[in-house]
Amino acid sequence: MAIFSVFVVNKAGGLIYQLDSYAPRAEAEKTFSYPLDLLLKLHDERVLVAFGQRDGIRVGHAVLAINGVDVSGKYTADGKEVLEYLGNPANYPVSIRFGRPRLTSNEKLMLASMFHSLFAIGSQLSPEQGSSGIEMLETDTFKLHCFQTLTGIKFVVLADPRQAGIDSLLRKIYEIYSDFALKNPFYSLEMPIRCELFDQNLKLALEVAEKAGTFGPGS
Amino acid sequence: MSRQANRGTESKKMSSELFTLTYGALVTQLCRDYENDEDVNKQLDKMGYNIGVRLIEDFLARSNVGRCHDFRETADVIAKVAFKMYLGITPSITNWSPAGDEFSLILENNPLVDFVELPDNHSSLIYSNLLCGVLRGALEMVQMAVEAKFVQDTLKGDGVTEIRMRFIRRIEDNLPAGEE
């Protein structure tokens, strides 16, 4: 999947829509017997690997699932504390899935408002009058593209650096927003978008963009 | 199988008669509910406002026009692009005030009032007031506070329909970043 996520930020900087469409690439599930040879620690409401990197399980990976059941934060699905559970030899052998911790929705909200402020700073830093805000942010693993409409809504797409055609994808997302979110009379402006049709059409547009644009360098 | 997204609107045509009937049903129902022409005018304006705040995004997404730098550009875009796109008519722009902050849109024919006649007991009803609300709502979302009102109306016996647009001020709070 070359397009990783889509964010829609309203005028005030609040996140109103978020879609992740990447398959997590680094996950490892292994069966362990007591005692666990990895050192786990609790950090930021998650159980992370602190030491003992091996077999695809790296330091910093979080516990994602125990015995196939997803873990939420530091508690298992049935409410037990993960560290306590794994400290009890009676629960072994146990199968644990590790992977890169996913962002919680609160974290995404915070990041979106931070981006909103950075976007404004981008235009203030400019030596030229009337500059736009941040349009693209590039790292070695992804490129972030941002499009702000004249009305102040921002569409942000995170994609593979080699993915082309993101500009037209951003315009297409704007059209999809103006159709399936705004023309739905039950959707209130500036509120989180919870429209099925918007989701479906957005995913379709992402597929089309991925198929059309992965050849050639640059964006 | 076609890879295009589900939009067939380019080929979707709707009968304008259905549109006229729908708008007519709306106005007559409002008249029955409110009984007082002034209240109906206000409601039409409010409804138009709610349409305008959503329509502007559709307009910007589809027409790709950039930000207008003065009221004259705005007038041009409204008359030549927006009215054409949504109502299929191109009003003319006249009567600029000396300060350049007021102008009139002259509509030769108004699709909303095809086949309509105003009865005597509704003489102060502004039948197409929805349009004023739409203009006000749409421009407010691009940081312009304007006032739109009908000064001539073919339904009331005038030769043409005239909407007077007045620029009040630029809305400075909550400006998107990069505009000043």
Which positions in chain A touch B67 (Cβ < 8 Å)?
150
Is residue B115 very low, low, confident or very high in pLDDT (cuts 50, 70, 90)?
Answer: confident
Q: Which of B54, B65, B172 to mutate to test the interface with A (most CBs of A within 10 A)?
A: B54
Is residue A1 very low, low, confident or very high in pLDDT (cuts 50, 70, 90)?
Answer: low
Is B5 close to A205, i.e. CB distance below 8 A? yes
Q: Per the domain annotation, does B8 fall within a domain?
A: no
How far is B136 from chain A, CA to nearest CA, in Å? 14
Q: Per the domain annotation, does B134 fall within a domain?
A: yes
Q: Per the domain annotation, does B177 fall within a domain?
A: no
Is residue A18 very low, low, confident or very high in pLDDT (cuts 50, 70, 90)?
Answer: very high
Q: Helix (H, G, I), strand (E, B), or coil: what is residue A111?
A: helix
Q: Per the domain annotation, does B97 fall within a domain?
A: yes
Give the CA radius of gyration of chain B: 17
Q: What pLDDT does residue A214 have?
A: 54
Q: Which residue has the tokens 């009968």?
A: B15
Is residue B104 very low, low, confident or very high in pLDDT (cuts 50, 70, 90)?
Answer: very high
Q: Per the domain annotation, does B30 fall within a domain?
A: yes
Which range among A83-97, B28-42, B127-141 shows the weakest confidence by mean pLDDT?
A: A83-97
Residue A62: name the closest of A54, A71, A30 by CA: A71
8 A C-beta contact, residue A32 and residue A66: no
Q: What pLDDT does residue A218 have?
A: 42
Q: Which of B2, B47, B57 to mutate to test the interface with A (most CBs of A within 10 A)?
A: B57
Question: Does position B132 have pLDDT exceeding 90, yes or no?
Answer: yes
The mean pLDDT value for A111-117 works out to 93
Q: Per the domain annotation, does B179 fall within a domain?
A: no
- Give me A73's structure tokens: 């934060």
Q: Per the domain annotation, does B77 fall within a domain?
A: yes
Q: What pLDDT does residue A74 have?
A: 77
Q: Angle CA(B57)–CA(A159)–CA(A56) in degrees, nearest 5?
A: 145
Is B142 close to A151, i.e. CB distance below 8 A? yes
Crossing angle of helices A166-176/A196-213, nearest 10°? 160
Q: What pLDDT does residue A167 have?
A: 92
Question: Does position A164 have pLDDT exceeding 90, yes or no?
Answer: no
Q: What is the CATH number of the domain that holds B127?
A: 3.30.1380.20
Higher pLDDT pick, B133 / A41: B133
Q: What pLDDT does residue B58 have?
A: 94
For the stretch B6-20, what's the b/e string if a residue is b when 16 or more beta carbons lie within 10 angstroms of its beta carbon?
eeeeeeeeeeeeeeb
Q: Which of A10-19, A35-44, A85-94 has the highest mean pLDDT?
A: A10-19
The mean pLDDT value for B36-62 works out to 94
Q: Give the pTM.
A: 0.84
Is B178 close to A182, i.e. CB distance below 8 A? no
Is residue B10 very low, low, confident or very high in pLDDT (cuts 50, 70, 90)?
Answer: low
Q: How many structural domains does chain B have?
A: 1
Question: Does position A106 have pLDDT exceeding 60, yes or no?
Answer: yes
Q: What pLDDT does residue A80 have?
A: 80
Is A178 close to B141, i.e. CB distance below 8 A? no
Q: Helix (H, G, I), strand (E, B), or coil: what is residue B72?
A: helix
The mean pLDDT value for A43-68 works out to 82
Q: What pLDDT does residue A219 have?
A: 40
- Give me B21's structure tokens: 């009937």
Provide the ipTM: 0.84
Ramachandran region of residue A141, left (φ > 0), alpha (ψ -120 to 50) or beta? Answer: alpha
Full residue range of the structural domain in which residue B152 is found: 16-170
Burial class (CB in 10 A: 0-12, 13-18, 19+), B151: exposed
8 A C-beta contact, residue A168 and residue A155: no
Q: Which domains does chain A have, with CATH numbers?
A: 1-21+102-209 (3.30.450.70), 25-97 (2.30.42.40)
- Give me B28's structure tokens: 């007559």
Size of interface A-B (CB pairs under 8 A): 75
8 A C-beta contact, residue A18 and residue A105: yes
CA distances from B26 to A156, A173, B32, B107, B114 (A): 39, 32, 10, 22, 15
Which of B58, B67, B180 lies closest to A150 in CB terms? B67
Is A152 close to B175, i.e. CB distance below 8 A? yes
State what percent of residues in chain B have pLDDT above 90: 62
Higher pLDDT pick, A213 / A71: A71
8 A C-beta contact, residue B104 and residue B162: yes
A119-154 pLDDT, tens digit each: 989 888 888 888 888 999 999 999 999 999 999 999
Q: Per the domain annotation, does B38 fall within a domain?
A: yes
- Give me A98's structure tokens: 């590790």
Does A43 touch chain B if contact means CB atoms closer than 8 Å? no
For the stretch A10-47, what's the b/e string if a residue is b when 16 or more beta carbons lie within 10 angstroms of its beta carbon?
bbebebbbbbebeeeeeeeeeeeeeeeebebeeeeebb
8 A C-beta contact, residue B177 and residue A119: yes
Question: Does position B2 have pLDDT exceeding 50, yes or no?
Answer: no
A166-202 pLDDT, tens digit each: 999 999 999 999 999 999 999 999 999 999 999 999 9
Distance CA B85, CA A22 (A): 38
Distance CA A55, CA A148 (A): 43
